[in-house]
Amino acid sequence: MPVSRERFEQGLTADQFVSGLTRNEERWHENLKVAGDQITDADVSFFKEHPVSIVAIGEDWCTDVVQFLPPIIGLAERVPDAVTLRIFKRDENLDLIDQYLKEGKFRSIPVFVLYDEDWNELGAFHERPDEVTREMATETKRFAEANPQLEGINRTYDNMAEETRRLVHENSARYRWENMLRWNRIALDELKAIAAKAPAATHAD
């Protein structure tokens, strides 16, 4: 069943969530600093025409949440009259995440669920854009082909030698943060596509 308005109001505000960070704090704050800069005037106009409430489900230890939640926080801060955000920690709200399993079986995060002004559920965004997943897979393959000398480089991540796993992780992190702003733009556009299902507001400026 959809998240009720009452349950929505029980979620954390962005300030409450950020003040309770326990992991990746430096990266969180670096990403939050640039989050608002990614919101364009076109984004502001769009969401004023299509106001939404956004349920975000995540955890501060998850890299995809560290990347994709900050621009949503920046959006809510930039357009507070049109975008209302509440954040729910996945592991404390299993009943919520279990309504939005990726492929019907994975508790992947982040999840962003959008509601219009009449509290109709418009759709949900899971984990990361498919385009980003494809790019990450291509980079992982490129790194493996460029480093055949690494022990277990062609095994699954958990079965690689420890040093190989460390190098693969470092390369993936480098690639992610080099592409962060572009990937965030892709994610924001996917959210806009969901929000476009909302009736146009009659009171927009």
CA dihedral 61, 62, 64, 67 (to 10 degrees): -10
Give the three-state DSSP class for 8: helix
pLDDT tens digits, 18-54: 999 999 999 999 999 998 888 999 999 999 999 999 9
What phi, psi does 112 have (nearest 5°)? -120, 120
Domains and CATH numbers, the chain: 5-127+183-195 (3.40.30.10), 132-172 (no CATH)
- pLDDT tens string 60-115: 999 999 999 999 999 999 999 999 999 999 999 999 999 999 999 999 999 999 99
Contact assessment for residue 112 and residue 55, using Cβ atoms and an 8 Å cutoff? yes
Using the structure block, give the residue that is written with the tokens 């009449």. 118
Question: What sign has the CA pseudo-torsion 177, 104, 191, 32?
Answer: negative
Residue-wise pLDDT tens digits, 125-177? 999 999 999 999 999 999 999 999 999 999 998 999 999 999 999 999 999 99
Compute the distance between CA of residue 197 and CA of residue 205 in angstroms, rounded to an integer. 19
pTM for the model: 0.91
What is the C-alpha separation between 119 and 102, in angstroms, rounded? Answer: 23
